[in-house]
Chain A
Amino acid sequence: MNENTKSRLMMTLLRIVVYAILIFLTVLCLFSFYLMIVNATRSNAQLQAGFRLLPQEHFWDNLKNAWTDASINIPRGMLNSLFIAAVSAALTTYFSALTAYGVHVYDFKGKNLVFTFIMAIMMIPAQVSAVGFVQMINKFHLTNNYIPLIVPSIAAPVVFFYMKQYMESVLPLEIVEAARCDGSNEFRTFNTIILPIMKPAIAVQAIFSFVSSWNNYFIPALLLDKAEMKTVPIMIAQLRSADYSKFDMGKVYMFILLAILPVMLVYIILSKSIIKGVTSGSVKG
Chain B
Amino acid sequence: MSLDNRSLNGRRKSVSYAKWGYIFILPFFLVYIVFTLVPQVLTIYNSFFTNYMDGLKHIGPEFVGLKNYVSLFTPNKQGSILILKYAANTMILWFLGAVPQFLIALLLAVFFTSYRLNIKGQGFFKTVIYMPNLIMASAFSMLFFTLFSKVGPVNQFLQQSGIMDKPLDFFASKVTVRSLIALMNFLMWFGNTTIVLMAGIMGIDQTLFEAATIDGANAVKVFFKVTLPLLMPIFVYCLITALIGGIQMFDVPQVLTNRLGMPNRTSFTLVMYLNNYLSTSKNYGMSGAISVIIFIITGILGGIVYKFLSAQYKDPVEKPRRARKGARK
- A residues near B (Cβ < 8 Å) are 11, 14-15, 18-19, 21-22, 25-26, 28-30, 32-33, 35-36, 39, 48, 50-51, 95-96, 98-99, 101-103, 105-109, 111, 114, 116, 118-136, 138, 148, 151-152, 154-155, 160, 165, 169, 177, 180-181, 186, 190, 211, 214-215, 217-218, 221-222, 232-233, 236-237, 239-241, 244-245, 249, 252-253, 256, 259-260, 263-264, 267, 271-272, 274-276, 278-280, 282-285
Given known A130-B278, A131-B291, A240-B255, contact A282–B27 (CB-CB < 8 A):
no
- B residues near A (Cβ < 8 Å) are 6-7, 9-10, 13-15, 17-25, 27-29, 31-32, 35-36, 38-43, 45-46, 104, 107-108, 111, 116-117, 119, 123, 125-132, 134-147, 149, 151, 153, 156-157, 160, 187, 190-192, 195-196, 198-199, 241, 244-245, 247-248, 250-251, 254-256, 258-259, 271, 274-275, 278-279, 282, 284, 287-288, 291-292, 294-295, 298-299, 301-302, 305-306, 309-310, 313, 320-321, 323-324, 326-328
Interface contact A132-B156, CB-CB below 8 Å: no
**Contacting residues, chain A, for B149 (C-beta < 8 A):** 244
**Contacting residues, chain B, for A128 (C-beta < 8 A):** 40, 43, 291-292, 294-295, 298
**Contacting residues, chain A, for B25 (C-beta < 8 A):** 98-99, 102-103, 114
In order of increasing CB-CB distance, the 6 nearest A-B pairs are A102-B24, A132-B42, A106-B21, A123-B302, A132-B39, A155-B32
Interface contact B43-A32, CB-CB below 8 Å: no
* Chief secondary structure at chain A's binding surface: helix
**Contacting residues, chain B, for A18 (C-beta < 8 A):** 111, 117, 119
- The complex places the Cα of A276 from the Cα of B325 at a distance, in Å, of 9
Most buried by A among B108, B153, B288, B302: B153
Tell me the minimal C-beta distance from A249 to chain B in angstroms.
Answer: 7
Interface contact A125-B298, CB-CB below 8 Å: yes
Interface contact A99-B24, CB-CB below 8 Å: yes
Given known A30-B128, A122-B302, A256-B142, contact A152–B31 (CB-CB < 8 A):
yes
Tell me the minimal C-beta distance from A20 to chain B in angstroms.
Answer: 12
Tell me the minimal C-beta distance from A67 to chain B in angstroms.
Answer: 16
Q: Which residue of B lies closest to A211 (CB)?
A: B134
Interface contact B42-A259, CB-CB below 8 Å: no
**Contacting residues, chain A, for B139 (C-beta < 8 A):** 232-233, 236, 256, 259-260
Interface contact A14-B129, CB-CB below 8 Å: no
**Contacting residues, chain B, for A285 (C-beta < 8 A):** 241, 244-245
Given known A25-B129, A148-B35, A240-B258, contact A99–B144 (CB-CB < 8 A):
no
**Contacting residues, chain B, for A252 (C-beta < 8 A):** 142, 146
Interface contact B36-A152, CB-CB below 8 Å: yes
**Contacting residues, chain B, for A50 (C-beta < 8 A):** 156, 160
Tell me the minimal C-beta distance from B244 to chain A in angstroms.
Answer: 6
Q: Which residue of A lies closest to B292 (CB)?
A: A128
**Contacting residues, chain A, for B6 (C-beta < 8 A):** 177, 181
- The complex places the Cα of A3 from the Cα of B293 at a distance, in Å, of 60
Tell me the minimal C-beta distance from B169 to chain A in angstroms.
Answer: 13
Interface contact A134-B278, CB-CB below 8 Å: yes
Most buried by A among B10, B116, B190: B10
Interface contact B258-A241, CB-CB below 8 Å: yes
Interface contact A32-B143, CB-CB below 8 Å: yes
- The complex places the Cα of A55 from the Cα of B135 at a distance, in Å, of 22
- Kindly list 4 other residue pairs between chains A and B, CB separation below 8 angstroms, not including A106-B21, A218-B251, A279-B195: A18-B117, A25-B104, A106-B14, A237-B138
